[in-house]
């Protein structure tokens, strides 16, 4: 089992009893690639926050109660932060050589080109539209979001 702590003063976030897959999917892979991650209710930047990964036994609910979880994890676990980050970096370095990583990156670039000059705004608008109009199919919500952004752009001129 893995236990994770993220710290950036004055905030810290702990998560306990993660499998290796959960650890890599939720934190380590993106962290090793120096990407922001969303963990808990915050976004964490690897350049500002500190990540600690411990490997040890499964912690029972009683061991996590009243804020004692991280202390118990430290007592019974080994710090494996550098090992898992290096493993994730090695996987990231190996991925492009297979060709799958390059094809995926090309597909991502093509998709971003289709989304226009500001894909982030379109994504935010799409999410808002989908949340407000849950009866719409995803493609319909996307079309409405795109129309909304176009009308806003036209209004600025």
What is the tens place of the pLDDT at every residue in 96-151?
Answer: 554 555 566 666 666 666 666 677 777 778 888 888 888 988 888 888 888 887 77
- The b/e string for 51-77 (b: 16+ C-beta within 10 A; e otherwise) is bbbbbbeebeeebbeeeebbebbeeeb
d(CA 146, CA 157): 17
Locate 84 and state its tokens. 């898992």
What is the tens place of the pLDDT at every residue in 59-110?
Answer: 888 888 887 899 989 999 999 999 999 988 888 777 655 455 556 666 666 6
Residue 106, CA distances (Å) to 38, 50, 91, 109 in order: 25, 32, 19, 5
Does pTM top 0.75 for this prediction? no
Residue 88 CB partners (closer than 8 Å, separation 6+):
24, 28, 29, 31, 32, 33
Residue 57, pLDDT > 90, answer yes
Predicted local distance difference test score (pLDDT) of residue 114 = 65
**Token pair 């849950």: residue:** 134
């Amino acid at each position: 089992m893995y236990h994770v702590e993220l710290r950036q003063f004055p905030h810290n976030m702990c998560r306990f009893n993660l499998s290796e897959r959960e650890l890599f999917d939720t934190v380590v892979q993106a962290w090793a690639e120096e990407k922001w991650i969303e963990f808990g209710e915050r976004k964490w930047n690897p350049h500002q926050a500190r990540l600690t990964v411990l490997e040890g036994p499964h912690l029972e609910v009683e061991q996590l109660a009243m804020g004692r979880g991280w202390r118990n994890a430290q007592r019974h676990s080994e710090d494996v932060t550098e090992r898992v980050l290096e493993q994730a970096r090695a996987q990231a370095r190996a991925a492009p050589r297979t060709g799958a990583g390059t094809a995926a990156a090309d597909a991502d670039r093509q998709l971003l080109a289709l989304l226009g000059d500001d894909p982030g705004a379109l994504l935010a608008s799409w999410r808002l539209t989908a949340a407000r109009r849950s009866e719409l199919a995803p493609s319909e919500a996307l079309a409405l979001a795109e129309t909304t952004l176009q009308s806003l752009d036209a209004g600025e001129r």
